Structure 1
Amino acid sequence: MHALETKDLKLSYGDSLIIDELNLHIPKGEITVFIGGNGCGKSTLLRSMARLLKPQQGSVLLEGHSISRLATKEVAKKLAILPQGPIAPEGLTVLQLVKQGRYPYQSWLKQWTEEDERVVNNALQSTRMEELADKPVDSLSGGQRQRAWIAMTLAQQTEIILLDEPTTYLDMTHQIEILDLLFELNEKEKRTIIMVLHDLNLACRYAHHIVAIKDKKIFAEGKPEHVINCDLVKNVFDMNCEVTIDPLFGTPLCIPHGKGRCILNRVGV
């Protein structure tokens, strides 16, 4: 069974059609990355798969069931989403934020339990945020804030985690830190990770499955080594490039054409 599916999905904002009759299957227990040019509908598709955007037509299936017919708390126990640039209320601590991940499991009959405490502590440990638990979220660095929000999604204990550009505005060190964390969650706990990334080379390094979106539809999908090539980059991003092999990981490595200081073949170099 697939983790998530879309059937004849059509998405729009007002009169603008964003996604048109899209059929997609997300592999369970793998990392899937959406790629494509700005405005192609990657984030819109992610939001619809988390039931944050109602389809104009078609449906999203969560483990074979129409997500629109499931109770909100039932969805929240199976699927967590981290939107782009989330903002915590002023003064909210990391611990308070992470505890909000347990909301789907609370009711007037079932209050905070030792199990909730254990799950929250594990989420803090997994994201290496224990020492920052009492710090206000808005006082943290960009990478620390992302780890705090990921800790909250972990506290939901969902098998599926969706992330919209989780490395945006982060420096190179923190980008790798966040992606390594997500990779470890997939490797150790078999979480299904679905995310939007702009960096094609990082997408190739971390993804088991890549979905390239263009003209409201899927242009190509599959393993990065099977689908990423010069023709795809030209068609999807309108950019000329060379695609070679990453010397560390063996994954596709995109080298864009363009202007810059070239030191090749210079006398004395």
Structure 2
Amino acid sequence: MMNEAIQAKSLTLGYGDSIIIDELNLSIPKGEITVFIGGNGCGKSTLLRSMARLLKPESGSVLLAGKEIAKLPTKEVARNLSILPQTPIAPEGLTVLQLVKQGRFPYQSWLKQWSNEDEEIVMRALKATRMVEFKDRPVDELSGGQRQRAWIAMTLAQDTEVILLDEPTTYLDMTHQIEILDLLFELNEQENRTIVMVLHDLNLACRYAHNIVAIRDKKVYAQGTPESVISCQMVRDVFDMDCQVSMDPLFGTPLCIPHGKGRCILKGGEINAI
């Protein structure tokens, strides 16, 4: 039985003459949450796009459930894998319900029109994201967190085993970040969905990921559990930053405390930097 949802084999990606990912090999475990981390411009989003067949490799291949994704019919890919890009934009006036229904397009054909099953899946996606009460609201009138939940509802309506998300918490406040990540965690726990996402917050990545992939110098620098990947040396090498790694008091996962300038406090009769 195959344990990899997606594999990259000797994958080289680029734009024009610029190589972003070079001869990269990677396996994404099935039924787990995998998070890509790395500095700006290291190729995290580029790698995610290639896994969704949105970017053609310069060389190498991406396998989806053991099959080369480039050779699969578009609808077959869309029935097995969905992607939520950074800051997606909906047409003006499009309602939440209309947006979420678009997730069912890969299942439509001349022979198979809109069905009760499609309707049930759309409503289930709206309920899972707590967006039922907003279904008739235009997407462009929603708050940032509500808008992101609407897009995730559309992704859920696509009903794929693998979900790719590029920085799903960007521009969201702390409350909405946790709300979105909790939702994705529940989808993984309850429905065994394979979740792959790019995150910038290392501490949130450690809390939610089974598997962390650190990208540096166009290749995988390290891959594994948060405990095996997150270290002072890794943060120094990948992010060019000094830090202290401690334990999250609530979750027991690695907690990265960056060095830097900040306020000072009086502690034990001595002044200490926070």
**TM-score bracket for the superposition, by shorter chain length:** over 0.9
User: Following TM superposition, by how much is the alpha carbon of 1:265 offset from its aligned partner in structure 2, in angstroms?
Assistant: 2.3
**TM-score for both structures, normalised by structure 1:** 0.99
**TM-score for both structures, normalised by structure 2:** 0.97
1:116-139 CA-to-partner distances (Å, cap 9, x unmatched) read 000000000000000000000000
Provide the secondary structure at the position in 2 that maps to 1:3.
Answer: strand
Identity of aligned pairs, percent?
Answer: 77
1:263: which partner in 2?
265
Provide the secondary structure at the position in 1 that maps to 2:203.
Answer: helix
1:101: which partner in 2?
103
What amino acid is the match of 1:148? Answer: A
1:20-47 CA-to-partner distances (Å, cap 9, x unmatched) read 0000000000000000000000000000
Determine whether 1:193 maps to 2:195: yes
1:163-186 CA-to-partner distances (Å, cap 9, x unmatched) read 000000000000000000000000
2:135: which partner in 1?
133
Structure 1 CA distance, aligned partners of 2:270 and 2:228? 40
User: Following TM superposition, by how much is the alpha carbon of 1:266 offset from its aligned partner in structure 2, in angstroms?
Assistant: 5.8
Structure 1 CA distance, aligned partners of 2:147 and 2:137? 11
What amino acid is the match of 1:111? Answer: Q
User: Following TM superposition, by how much is the alpha carbon of 1:109 offset from its aligned partner in structure 2, in angstroms?
Assistant: 1.1
1:95-118 CA-to-partner distances (Å, cap 9, x unmatched) read 000000000000011110000000
What amino acid is the match of 1:25? Answer: S
- 1:100-179 → structure 2 map (5 Å cutoff): 100-179=102-181
What amino acid is the match of 1:218? Answer: V
Provide the secondary structure at the position in 1 that maps to 2:265.
Answer: coil
Provide the secondary structure at the position in 1 that maps to 2:75.
Answer: helix
2:23: which partner in 1?
21
Alignment length (residue pairs): 269
Structure 2 CA distance, aligned partners of 1:266 and 1:148? 50
Provide the secondary structure at the position in 2 that maps to 1:254.
Answer: strand
Q: 1:85 aligns with which of 70, 84, 87?
A: 87
User: Following TM superposition, by how much is the alpha carbon of 1:145 offset from its aligned partner in structure 2, in angstroms?
Assistant: 0.4
Structure 2 CA distance, aligned partners of 1:9 and 1:159? 23
Structure 1 CA distance, aligned partners of 2:14 and 2:132? 41
Determine whether 1:70 maps to 2:38: no
User: Following TM superposition, by how much is the alpha carbon of 1:226 offset from its aligned partner in structure 2, in angstroms?
Assistant: 1.1
Structure 2 CA distance, aligned partners of 1:128 and 1:116? 18
Structure 2 CA distance, aligned partners of 1:249 and 1:152? 30
Structure 2 CA distance, aligned partners of 1:244 and 1:266? 21
- 1:226-241 → structure 2 map (5 Å cutoff): 226-241=228-243
Determine whether 1:49 maps to 2:51: yes
Structure 2 CA distance, aligned partners of 1:16 and 1:254? 32
Determine whether 1:249 maps to 2:240: no
Structure 1 CA distance, aligned partners of 2:105 and 2:53? 17
1:49-87 CA-to-partner distances (Å, cap 9, x unmatched) read 000000000000000000000000000000000000000
User: Following TM superposition, by how much is the alpha carbon of 1:262 offset from its aligned partner in structure 2, in angstroms?
Assistant: 1.9
Structure 2 CA distance, aligned partners of 1:17 and 1:74? 29
1:5: which partner in 2?
7
What is the CA RMSD across the aligned residues, in angstroms? 1.0
Structure 2 CA distance, aligned partners of 1:14 and 1:200? 31
User: Following TM superposition, by how much is the alpha carbon of 1:267 offset from its aligned partner in structure 2, in angstroms?
Assistant: 3.5
Structure 2 CA distance, aligned partners of 1:125 and 1:63? 29
